[in-house]
Amino acid sequence: MSDLLGKLRRAAGKSPPYVVRRVVRDARAEADRWRAPRRDRSLTPDRLCRELGAPTIDALWERCAARPWPFPSTRDDLGDLDRLCPEHRAAVLEAADRALQRRVDLVGSGEVELVGSGEVELGPRIDWLTDVRSGRSWPPAFSRGIDYANLDAPSDIKFPWELSRLQWALPLGQAWLLTGEDRYAEGARDLIDAWIEGNPYAWTVNWSCTMEPAIRILTWTWFFFTLHDSPAFADPDFRFRFLKNLLLHGEYTERHFERSDLNGNHFVADAAGLVFAGLCLGPGNAPDRWADRGLADLEAELPLQVTADGVDFEGSVPYHRLVTELFVLPAMYAEAHGRPVSAGWRDRTAAMAEFVAAYSGPDGGSPLWGDADDGRALPLGSGRRDDHRYLIAWAAQWLDRPALLDRFGGPVDEVLWILGAARTEAAAGRTTPPGESREFPHGGYRVLAHGADQVFVDCGPVGMAGVGGHGHNDVLSFEAVLDGVRLVSDRGCFVYTGSPRERNEFRSTAAHNTPSVDGEEINRLVRRDWLWALHDDTRPEVRSWSVTPTTTSLEVSHDGYQRLASPVTVVRRFELDGGEHRLTIRDSLEGAGHHAIEVPLHLAPGVEVDRSASDLRLRAGGRSFELTWEGTEGWELSEEASRVSPSYGVAVPTRRLAWCRTGAMPAVLEVRLSACPEGG
């Protein structure tokens, strides 16, 4: 009842045309409860051929295979892979063999430890509808009627969804290209058939969120162009099942498109899925319409979701990676069909890659900023999960921007599988350039960087234009790398619906490296069961920004605690001295009255706290770092166990330091973290 009342209140705030469109759209979508099963049964081989304008299934198959595809699909496209990516072949074959054995480690499933390797063994008959960690299943039913969040019981829909994306099986196609062994293609075929059998059209939880069939379209299309001429894909019955279900995926995405008054990454994924389905299955009325609509929606949405300086508006670095992929890959596909995207599209995606170059640390990692569910469009690499640098090379080579390519340094496996050998050659062998301080005022981030030192600071608003979305309560929070060693980390995301309590903990103010006042959130939670919503309480203000050849300083404040009975303004000054590998953070709590202040510091996994010396030291990567502080009287330092989530569903132990003070305002605390001389 409360959800119904909430929907009615939200509807009351919308314009009448919007409400009418929403009612019509929902009624049309609900009609699929009866339409979808009939459509599934009636789509015979003859009808499929008539609808797509081909005489036979084999002719349709060959026509689709002859259409342009911009990504590598033959061994020749990969060139000398072993020279370009010396360790990649072994990693691909190992992953492919695990997929053949139906072993997966998705969204933390390895913690179940069902088999000796720590992976989950799916068995000969895959259960596509169960969360293995909780044992909770979602029985077959009409997709729109399924409560997939299931907040009343411990369960996580992410496992069935990630399992059904079949991205974990992409190495089967890669292994077939590398070896020519048909067992890999047979494994992919059998998994696709098993998925079709276990997920009738629109009738399981794996259809409940339109983003899921949209992402599957990308996976299935890649499988098609990679394996279409393999003996395993030669059977006409399989070809019919594959093409029929690819068509149904496109239909479902169009009919259940996730359009709202404020769109996010789901909208972008849906549009990308339509582009891939339309360009693969066309020409034809429906495929051509999908491609046109998907490209038009992406064109219109890009400047709404990505700021002028290239930052995705959802307040999450991992989602910035996903959205960048979802704008770049359809554009490359469209241009292969002679449909160039606009200059605005190209410039904005180049800016997105510039942001990637700025936030990528000297260690190759990325900040754990905002939500991180490890979502990808086409994950084809075998490197670190948190290495986003391939996006720099993608954009630089696709857009022909040599200056952007100069910002790239890192593995090229993800580059090779998207750009092919010829364009990967220019990116191979490059080293990461020294860090440079960059400001992204529209996106709300500052990166203080000199050489091997980097500090990533959130100076921006609540994610998703003030709604919350995938952003956290992290205003003025930061991550820090000194002398190439990651010392201070955000805590990451951990889970979504799997545990509302943990979800709210990991996105809370206390879980970030930013001061809290009286235990209050910087931005209040709207409701504890609204897991992607925050009140838009806080306005950050950058007061100063200064860059010299060796130092960068930033002063920023926020007014999130002005709502308290005795208001407090938080002012934070960062100074990074690259010559000394020293970071200084000065917090000034301006206001009156008595308040309880906490200033936390979450250490990166593997960083140890050493109190044996006369001062406090952090030890990591074979190095020592001195930690000192001073300030207004009354500060006390505590240390406790904490957790950081480096990937979705996984939490690893670490330490949390916190300076606490209860007393009159104003208050000041200055913390200095600096590298000790080698051996110190």
Residue 112's pLDDT band (cuts 50, 70, 90): very low
Whether the pLDDT of residue 359 is over 80: the answer is yes
Check if the beta carbon of residue 482 is closer than 8 Å to that of residue 673. yes
Neighbours of 44 (CB within 10 A): 11
- Predicted confidence at residue 19, as pLDDT, reads 73
Q: What SS3 string covers 228-274?
A: CCCHHHCCHHHHHHHHHHHHHHHHHHHHCCCCCCCCCHHHHHHHHHH
Whether residue 115 is predicted with pLDDT greater than 90 in this model: the reply is no
pLDDT band of 172, cuts 50, 70, 90: very high
For residue 677, pLDDT over 70 is answered with yes
Token readout for 587 is 């917090």
Average pLDDT over residues 117-144: 90
pLDDT tens for 261-311 read 999 999 999 999 999 999 999 999 999 999 999 999 999 999 999 999 999
Q: Which residue has the higher pLDDT, 150 or 501?
A: 501
- Please give the mean pLDDT across all residues of the chain: 94
- Is pLDDT larger for residue 305 or for residue 116? 305
Residue 614's φ and ψ, nearest 5 degrees, are: -70, -25
Q: Give the pLDDT confidence score for residue 417 in this predicted structure.
A: 98
- Across the range 248-260, mean pLDDT stands at 97
Region 167-192: what's the mean pLDDT? Answer: 98
pLDDT the model gives residue 29: 81
Residue 680: the pLDDT is: 61
Task: Report whether pLDDT(118) > 70.
Answer: no
Sequence ranges of the domains in the chain: 1-28, 435-675
pLDDT beyond 80 at 567: yes
Q: 78-89 pLDDT, tens per residue? A: 999 999 999 999
- Is the pLDDT confidence value at 340 over 50? yes
Least confident of 263-277, 603-617, 660-674: 603-617
> Is pLDDT of 614 > 90?
no
Question: Which pLDDT band holds residue 114 (cuts at 50, 70, 90)?
Answer: very low
435-675 belongs to which CATH class? mainly beta
Closest CA to 255 of 10, 554, 39, 415: 39
pLDDT at 13: 63
Asked if residue 5 has pLDDT above 80, the reply is no
DSSP 337: T
pLDDT above 90 for 2: no
Q: How confident is the model at residue 7 (pLDDT cuts 50, 70, 90)?
A: low
Cβ neighbours of residue 565 closer than 8 Å, sequence gap 6 or more? 593
Q: Which two tokens stand for residue 241?
A: 């099942």
678: pLDDT confidence band, cut at 50, 70 and 90? confident
In the predicted model, what is the mean pLDDT of residues 549-576?
A: 97
3-state DSSP percent of the chain in helix, strand and coil, to 5: 40, 20, 40
Higher pLDDT, 225 or 14: 225
Please tell me the predicted confidence (pLDDT) of residue 9: 55
Q: In angstroms, rounded to a whole number, what is the distance separating the alpha carbons of residues 659 and 448?
A: 24
Evaluated on CA atoms 369, 373, 378, 383, the torsion sign reads positive
- pLDDT exceeds 80 at position 65: yes
> For position 113, what pLDDT does the model report?
38
pLDDT at 251: 98
Would you state the pLDDT for residue 107?
85
Structure tokens at 105: 């480690």
Contact 206, 194 (CB under 8 A): no
Condensed to tens digits (0 to 9), the pLDDT of residues 402-423 reads 999 999 999 999 999 999 999 9
